[in-house]
Structures are given as structure tokens and as C-alpha cells.
Structure 1
């Protein structure tokens, strides 16, 4: 009995399910969330049929959306606010000037090439001659800072081939012989009276190969009161002193010559001053 009852119930359930599947159903309705106050709602326009779309249709479809975005208040939806913030905002003049100044300071400074001046022309010269070392030293001191690397240089002299001591020719031969007699009486020997030539009637008192010997003989005769003199045979050049220097600053060899009171100025290779 119980088994038949269960079979009848299962049959009724199967019939009910079949009738439910066969009954027509309504299309689901989309639930639109309520819009916030002050926010414009978007309407979906029906898409036109293919082939009937005109060129002006896209512009017409975009116009309500653009108007809705521009009209959105500050409390609008995030999409509307993002569209509003996308527009460029003009800065005040003071902020623009400050931004440009900061940008200029951030730029790397332009490196200007250093100005190169042409080196001063250095000239070298020898100034002199000076008879003594003391005179050359005084001239070098007078040059001061206008002279660079100054130094003293001695030029040896050139001796004559021979030196003679004599008394100048007399007016006559008798007068020359009288002078010779006085010389003998004073204790001097080695003399003779010149009889011809340019020195005729002169009294020769000795000939020497070096100057020192001739000067000693001359000194003794002069001390005895005889007007003797020294004569040379050949060319004799006395030793001299020179100041070798290079120019410094705006000085020139001519200006150095003037300051050193030199009689001559000779060119000099600057390599000799190193």
C-alpha cells in the first residue's frame, strides 16, 4: 500500500516539473542603481540599422555625454571628475615666472673657454762693456725687476805683441842726449837714443813681452821725475765686463740698455741663460 502511494507522488512531481518547464518565461529586467543627486544619467540610444548611419551620427551621440561631463558638479562620479581634471589649468603669472626661473637654474651652466693671452715675447741681450766688475754689478742692480735671470760675464782682453817704455822725442838730438845723461846719473841703465823714424830723438828705456814688467819700469822712472810713457806694439784689447739678461714684462733690450747706461747692446741667444 505504501509503495503505491510513493509511486503516485513521484508521478505527480514529474508532471509538475514538466508543466513548469513548458510554461513561457518573461525577460529578465536589468536593475539600474539609483543615480546620485546632481549627477546626470546616461541614456543608451538604440543602435541604428546597418546602412543608415550618417556621418553626423557619432557627433550627435557624443554631444549629450560631453555636456553631461562639463556640467558635472564637484561631488560627481569619479568618471566625470577625471574628465574634468583632464582639462589644462592656466597658472597665474607669478607661478609661471617662478617655474621658468627654477627651470633655468636647473640647466647646466655653459662653460666658456678660458681667455688665452699670447705669451710675452722674451728677448735676450748683452749690455756693456764695463771696465770693471764693480761697474757691471751696479748696472745689473739698476735694471731691477725688468731684467730676468741677469748675470755678469767677463771678456778677457788681448795682449799686445810687446810693450816699450820711452821718453817722448826731444826737439833736437843734443837735448835727447842730455836727457839720457840724467837718466844714467839717476842710476838707470838699458837705454838708447832713437836716431831715425817717427820716434827720432826719443829715449828708449826698455822693451818687454808682458805689460806687468813694462809697468814696473815705467813706475820707477816716473818716481825719479822722468816723463816716461808706455807704448804698445800691435793691437791691445783691455778686458771688459758685460751684463747678460732677458727682458721681463714690457721691457725691451733698448730700454734695458738705457737704464744700465751701457754703451753697446748685443743680441744674445736666450738658451745661454738657462
Structure 2
């Protein structure tokens, strides 16, 4: 019986606690925390009356009281930086690492002046002389103004016309083949002799002076053609010329005056070698 009584008592107590929990009111919410930096509104007691002479417009301004604490100014930088003591590790002064000096510029290497190219050789032909002995005497007089001098005989000194001719070919076809080679070498002024003693020979120009004919022969020789010079209209007398290379700094005029020659002519140095 006692056990049944205890069970009934416990059931009644649990039922009472459940009813109390269901019927209790909701707890009032906690007021929000005050906002920092914003003025707080304080309510005055209802019984307090406004002081005499105070206007209604000034009452709200008086009622508002800023309770925000004034910001504390930061300490000066000098105060924040505390001097290290002898006991603290910061007291040991750290010497800055030495800055490496920039490398000294390498001394400029003096460049040797560029060699001056040698002036091209100049060759000259001095004359005319009546015989070989006169040409040899002129060579001795010229002395050091000439180098590599040689004597040259001109058998047709009185000629009035000079022709440059290639020897006659064996046939017309051979002559025409030679003409094709002449054209391929970039040369002009030619024709094939059709009759006479020089049939199938190739004429390559006719000149009034020997210098022009010799220049034509030099061009043909450079292209690989063996031409010959034929003079006509002269008396058959011979002349001698002195061909040489000018020794610097002598010029053609000085060499001509020293040798006693009447004329001086420019000469291709390839003919002197």
C-alpha cells in the first residue's frame, strides 16, 4: 500500500510541475547593450517640474546627456618607443650590414686606329723618244719617281688609223660562234668580215688614236679574247715610250719634267706588270 501511495504522490507532483511550466509567462527580453559613442536618453521623474524660466524647446536638449567616455588621445610616438635597458635583449645595437660599393667601371681599352687604305697605284707612259738610247736616258733622269719602268717600241708611230681585229676563223659558223661569246661577255661594236684576205675575221672597232684602240684590246683581253692591233696610214717610223708606275708622292707631271718627255699618258697598270 505504501508503494502505491508513493507512486500516486509522484504522479501528482509531475502533473503540478507540468501545469506550472505551461502557465508561466514569457521572460521579459533583456535591454540591448548601450551603443558606444551615442548619447543616452534618460527619463526624469514624473514629479519633477521644469525650472522656472526654462522654455519647452530647451527641455529636450537638457534631457539628453552624453555619457559616452571621451576618447583617450594616443600617446606620442616618443613615449611609445621605450628606450631599451641594458638588461633587455633589445639593448644590443645591431649594426647595419655594410653596403657593397658598386664595381668600378672597366677602363676603356684604347682601340688602335684603323689602318688607312693605301692609295691605288698610278701608271704612266712617257714619250715619245726617237730611239731606244733616248728612252733609256729619260728613264735615268726620272730616277726615283718611277718604279718598274720598261721600254716599249711603237713601230707605226705615224699611223692615222687603228683597227682591232680577231683572227679569221676556220668557217663562217666558227666566226658566228665567236660572236655569240662576244655578246655574252657584254661587248658590242663587231662585225664579221665577209670577203678579202680577212674573210671570217671579226672586226671590233676602228680608232683614230692608239690609246682608244689599246683600251679596246684590254677589254677584249679581260674577256678572254686575243685581239690584235692593225695600224695604217703611217710612214713606218718607230717611236719609243717609257711605261712605269709612279712612286708616291710623285705625280705624272713631275715625272715627265724630270725625264724630259714631251707627252704623258695614263696607263693601265696591268700592262706594266
* TM > 0.5 fold call: no
* Structure richer in helix, relative to its length: 1
Q: TM-score, normalised by structure 1?
A: 0.36
